[in-house]
Amino acid sequence: MSDPQGPIGPNEAIKVTNIETFVLKNSWVFVKISTDAGITGWGEMLKDDAKACAAGALEVAGYLVGQDPRPVVHHWQAIHRGAFYRGGPIKTAISSGIDMALWDITGKCYGVPVYKLLGGPTRDRVRVYGEVSEKTGVNAMKVGPKSSRNAFKYIESPLFVDEVVERFKALRDHHGPGVDIGVDFHGA
């Protein structure tokens, strides 16, 4: 995605001016970092504790506002090592969202996509899948090749260990052998 300002030179000054967070109704959390050059970067954070992630990202503003956004790894280290708390899913989510937004800004500054900054492509295609669960409001029996809505050849569903055999069998019976099924135990 190009920015209205376009690329800037590597020696031109640029500073972070603002960090905003957006919590959507489905609990997705996005962070937007703005700069004085008019270039913005976007990142996404874990949605399991959306309000904590959003609040934590705003706390990072005290460190990041006024800084050059381009030394991304330096900022990641400073945020990670400088925090009082030493880890966990919320801190990781905050760091990840900020990291994505800073890489987005850096790519826009240099006029290249982020994947080129990270060493180029590692594959020529990406397999996509549909996540299905009660939480997402998508019934696992209504996606896949038999559905007119979706053409996924891979579906993933979060399951609890005690439910997996029954649910997996139901998915396999419904979708047949032509669809790969992923099961997400969420660290169980």
Q: What is the mean pLDDT of residues 124-153?
A: 58
Tell whether the model's pLDDT for residue 7 goes beyond 80: no
Does 7 map to a domain?
Answer: no
Contact criterion met (CB below 8 Å) for 46 and 99? no
Task: List the one residue out of 158, 161, 165 whose CA is nearest residue 134.
Answer: 158
The CATH number that applies at residue 71 is 3.30.390.10
Tell whether the model's pLDDT for residue 66 goes beyond 90: yes
Asked which of 68, 96, 117 is the last residue of a domain, the reply is: 117
Contact criterion met (CB below 8 Å) for 58 and 18? no
Tell whether the model's pLDDT for residue 1 goes beyond 50: no
Does 139 map to a domain?
Answer: yes
Give the model's pLDDT for residue 44.
95
CA 44 to CA 31: how far, in whole Å? 6
Does 154 map to a domain?
Answer: yes
Strands 180-184 and 130-131 come out as: unpaired
CA 17 to CA 110: how far, in whole Å? 19
**pLDDT tier, 134 (very low <50, low <70, confident <90, very high otherwise):** low
CA 178 to CA 152: how far, in whole Å? 10
Structural domain count of the chain: 2
Asked which of 96, 117, 138 is the last residue of a domain, the reply is: 117
CA 103 to CA 113: how far, in whole Å? 9
106 and 45 assigned to the same domain = yes
Tell whether the model's pLDDT for residue 152 goes beyond 80: no
Q: What is the mean pLDDT of residues 3-27?
A: 83
Does 55 map to a domain?
Answer: yes
109 and 143 assigned to the same domain = no
108 and 176 assigned to the same domain = no
82 and 138 assigned to the same domain = no
Q: What is the mean pLDDT of residues 118-128?
A: 86
Q: How far apart are the first and last CA of the chain?
A: 37
φ, ψ of residue 46 in degrees (nearest 5): -50, 145
CA 31 to CA 142: how far, in whole Å? 32
User: Greater confidence, 159 or 170?
Assistant: 170
* Full residue range of the structural domain in which residue 55 is found: 16-117
Asked which of 117, 140, 159 is the last residue of a domain, the reply is: 117
Beta bridge partners of 29: 23, 45
pTM equals 0.72
Does 10 map to a domain?
Answer: no
User: Greater confidence, 80 or 63?
Assistant: 63
29 and 95 assigned to the same domain = yes
Specify the range with the lowest mean pLDDT, choosing from 11-20, 36-45, 137-146.
137-146
DSSP one-letter string for 44-61: EE-STTHHHHHHHHHHHH
